[in-house]
Amino acid sequence: MRHLSRVLAVATLVAATQVAIAADDGVVRVKSAYPMAETIARIKKDVAAKGIRFFDEIDQSKLAADAGIKVLPSTLLVFGNPPLGTQFIAARPAAGLDWPVRLLVQQDEQGVVWAVYTDFGWLARRHEVNGEAARPFETASGVIGSITSSVKGN
């Protein structure tokens, strides 16, 4: 629990300096300085280092290929910290639609790799969670900002 407190404190600091800003649709795109496989590996390593539970890695481009459809490289990473994330559900049960965290790593037509996720402030507004109940969403914003900073490079 002490480890999580330190992670959350650092994450809050990172959130204050997070450059990626959500559009009106709540989507945040962070440009990676690394190729697809390294971006995924760095994110998974950072998630593990923070003691966050990793649930799944879904290669969407492989699923598409198996269905005879060609798509650009796209992998969905699913992870979360139950003591934090389940507070979303406690505040508003329908917020369970947005937990655990989903982070999409995708490559665009120019070969640029992106880490894409839904802004937690936007999620709090979507689920009409305000005041003290919105604090876990603020904390999650800091955590995801810290995680995606691991792929921004120097």
pLDDT in tens, 50-99: 999 999 999 999 999 999 999 999 999 999 999 888 888 888 899 889 99
Query: Do 117 and 144 contact (CB within 8 A), yes or no?
Result: yes
- Assess if residue 138 is contained within a domain: yes
Q: Which two tokens stand for residue 19?
A: 């450059």
Q: What is the pLDDT of residue 30?
A: 96
User: Dihedral sign, CA of 134, 92, 103, 21?
Assistant: negative
Number of domains forming the structure of the chain:
1
Q: Is 101 in contact with 8 (CB distance < 8 Å)?
A: no
> Within a domain: residue 53?
yes
Question: Mean pLDDT, to the nearest integer, of 24-53?
Answer: 96
The reported pLDDT for the residue numbered 23 is 56
pLDDT of residue 48: 97
* Whole-prediction pTM: 0.83
Write the pLDDT tens digit of every residue in 114-153. Answer: 999 999 999 999 988 888 888 888 999 999 999 999 999 6
Is residue 154 situated within a structural domain?
Answer: no
Among residues 130, 113, 27, 29, which one has the least CA distance to residue 75?
113
Q: What is the pLDDT of residue 15?
A: 42
The pLDDT, as a whole number, for residue 70 is 96
The three-class DSSP label of residue 2 is: helix
Residue 128 half-sphere exposure, CB side, CA atoms within 13 Å?
Answer: 2
**CATH classification of the domain holding 36:** 3.30.310.70
Question: Domain for residue 44, yes or no?
Answer: yes
pLDDT in tens, 23-32: 578 999 999 9
Look at residue 10 in the predicted model and tell me its pLDDT. Answer: 45
| Domain housing 141 | 2-149
37 closest CA partner among 78, 70, 77: 77
